[in-house]
Structure 1
Amino acid sequence: MTPCTVSCKTEKGESAMCNDQIIITNALNTQKHLTSLYNTAAGECCHNPLRSAMMELLRDEHEIQNDIFTGMNSRGWYPVQQASSQAVQQAIAELNSQN
């Protein structure tokens, strides 16, 4: 795949060249914002059919966000440190104890 470079604007309105990594990072940040908005809408919705629709949209947006994250991670653009299985089990136990 050939890297893509396009002209885009910075937050200050200046022209800059955006490569694949910048574009996909912006897409991930947009998805994070969308999931936050849908989460708030679903949580504050008092009409059950509308709430169900919002929950479906929220689930879809989380799937898109995960797809973007997975793609970034596989390219080394969003590295994460693997947790040990002991740390994972401890986190699960802590979450379960809060319920």
Structure 2
Amino acid sequence: MQNNVQNPKTQVPKTPQMNDRDFINDMLTTEKYMTSSYSTFLHEASHQHLYQDMLNIFTETQNCQRDLYNLMFKKGWYKLEQADSQKLQQSHQQFQGYASQFPYNNMMQ
């Protein structure tokens, strides 16, 4: 049995026209795309001042994306699956195993 975490859904009209959920979902998708593109730019920027300007824009865009996600969750248009504690512990142990293989970790010991 899956335990979902979800708020009650805010009802929207089911018509061919876009409704509030459609508009917010479209904005969220756009913000995600922009954040991803800005991230790529930041990886490749060589000019420090331009890098800093884009980092500020990236941060604003990321915050906007998070606000839209929170709004959709609040309205019940997003649901999350509650993590199984045993699977979470297994993933944690697996990550610790991977992390111990990183060269940086070996230099610190």
TM-score w.r.t. length of structure 2: 0.65
Cα shift at 1:83: 2.6
Q: Which one-letter code corresponds to 1:41 in the other structure? A: F
Structure 1 residue 94 corresponds to structure 2 residue 85: no
Percentage identity across aligned positions? 30
Q: Secondary structure at the match of 1:28?
A: helix
> What is the match of residue 105 of structure 2?
none
- Alignment pair present for 1:26 and 2:26: yes
Q: How does 1:9-88 map to 2 (within 5 A)?
A: 16-84=16-84, 87=88
Q: Closer, same or farther in 2 for the Cα pair 1:35/1:88, shift >3 Å?
A: farther
Q: CA deviation at 1:30?
A: 0.5
The verdict on how the C-alpha distance between 1:33 and 1:91 changes in structure 2, with shifts beyond 3 A counting, is farther
3-state DSSP of counterpart to 1:18: coil
How far 1:62 sits from its partner (Å)? 0.7
Q: Pairwise CA RMSD of aligned residues?
A: 2.9
Matched letter for residue 76 of structure 1 = G
Which amino acid in the other structure matches residue 24 of structure 2?
A: I
Q: Which runs of 5+ in 1 are unaligned?
A: 6-15
Aligned equivalent of 1:12: none
Gaps of 5+ in 2: 1-10, 103-109
Q: CA separation of 1:75/1:89 partners in 2, compared to 1, >3 Å: closer, same or farther?
A: farther
Write out the 4+ residue segments of structure 1 that deviate beyond 4 Å after TM superposition.
88-93
Rounded Cα–Cα distance in structure 2 between residues aligned with 1:92 and 1:55: 33
Amino acid at match of 2:18: C
Highest relative contact order (Cα 8 Å, sep 6+), 1 or 2?
A: 2
The Cα shift of 1:43 comes to 1.1
